[in-house]
């Protein structure tokens, strides 16, 4: 009679936490912010797409993540000065975050839109939320692309709000439609997020 060998039990792979993040555009009042839910297993490349969608950017410029001095993005050999960021493509948020509770995300190095991102809380694993990103709250509209950073945005808002402003017609023609700086709608954002494959 043969000896019975007990096989080791297979461990279940750990399920990723779901993270609640708050992303806020720096240096602008009233604050432009979004609260979102993402799986901690999301790659930084996908998180970039989520940030573009929830904030209202169009992904026309370079970007970079900064986790306590560790920078990730898309290395650009034609960008001739400074250190290149580490490639973001396969790096997961959980790994980049480590034990940190906050990080920075910069979009458009010309206008230099700095976003402060805070980990507000960890939620238990949920199979539905592990496959998607979801915007639960926020306030105020995203600045237009190429508006000229914070000062340009402030000038743009002032000109668009006043039909008698000397630059009103020029700004309206440049933007192409009226602009409401307080506009925000989670429904439209979440519809766009539902198209992203995480």
Residue 83 has a pLDDT of 86
Q: Which of 41-50, 121-130, 171-180, 181-190 has the lowest mean pLDDT?
A: 121-130
CATH number at residue 36: 3.10.290.30
**Whole-angstrom distance, CA of residue 24 vs CA of residue 42:** 20
Q: Note whether residue 4 is domain-resident.
A: no
Task: Examine the domain organization and report whether 148 and 57 are in the same domain.
Answer: no
Q: Note whether residue 12 is domain-resident.
A: no
Percentage of the chain modeled with pLDDT above 70? 91
Residue 9 has a pLDDT of 63
Task: Examine the domain organization and report whether 158 and 62 are in the same domain.
Answer: no
Residue 2 has a pLDDT of 57
Q: 131-181, pLDDT tens digit by residue? A: 899 999 999 999 999 999 999 999 999 999 999 999 999 999 999 999 999
Mean pLDDT in residue range 23-30: 97
Residue 1 has pLDDT above 60, yes or no: no
Q: Note whether residue 10 is domain-resident.
A: no
Task: Examine the domain organization and report whether 130 and 36 are in the same domain.
Answer: yes
Helix (H) or strand (E) holding 103: strand 102-107
Q: Note whether residue 151 is domain-resident.
A: yes
Q: Structural domain tally of the chain?
A: 2
- Boundaries of domain holding 166: 144-180
Task: Examine the domain organization and report whether 156 and 108 are in the same domain.
Answer: no
Task: Examine the domain organization and report whether 84 and 33 are in the same domain.
Answer: yes
Task: Examine the domain organization and report whether 133 and 155 are in the same domain.
Answer: no
Please give the mean pLDDT across all residues of the chain: 92
**Whole-angstrom distance, CA of residue 48 vs CA of residue 44:** 6
**Whole-angstrom distance, CA of residue 73 vs CA of residue 87:** 5
Task: Examine the domain organization and report whether 24 and 86 are in the same domain.
Answer: yes
Q: Note whether residue 33 is domain-resident.
A: yes
Helices (H) and strands (E) in the chain, counts: 5, 8
């Amino acid at each position: 009679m043969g000896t019975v060998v007990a096989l080791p039990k297979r461990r279940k792979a750990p399920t990723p936490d779901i993270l609640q993040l708050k992303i806020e555009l720096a240096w602008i009042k009233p604050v432009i912010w979004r609260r979102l839910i993402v799986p901690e297993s999301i790659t930084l490349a996908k998180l970039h797409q989520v940030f573009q969608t929830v904030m209202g950017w169009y992904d026309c410029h370079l970007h970079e993540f900064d986790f306590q001095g560790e920078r990730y993005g898309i290395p650009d050999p034609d960008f001739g000065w400074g250190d290149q960021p580490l490639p973001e493509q396969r790096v997961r948020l959980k790994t980049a975050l480590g034990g940190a509770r906050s990080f920075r995300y910069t979009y458009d190095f010309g206008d230099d839109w700095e976003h402060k991102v805070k980990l507000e809380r960890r939620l238990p694993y949920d199979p539905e939320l592990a496959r998607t990103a979801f915007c639960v709250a926020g306030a105020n509209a995203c600045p237009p692309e190429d508006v000229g950073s914070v000062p340009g945005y402030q000038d743009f808002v002032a000109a668009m709000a006043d039909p008698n402003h000397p630059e009103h017609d020029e700004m309206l023609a440049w933007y192409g439609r009226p602009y409401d700086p307080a506009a925000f709608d989670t429904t439209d954002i979440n519809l766009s997020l539902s198209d992203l494959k995480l």
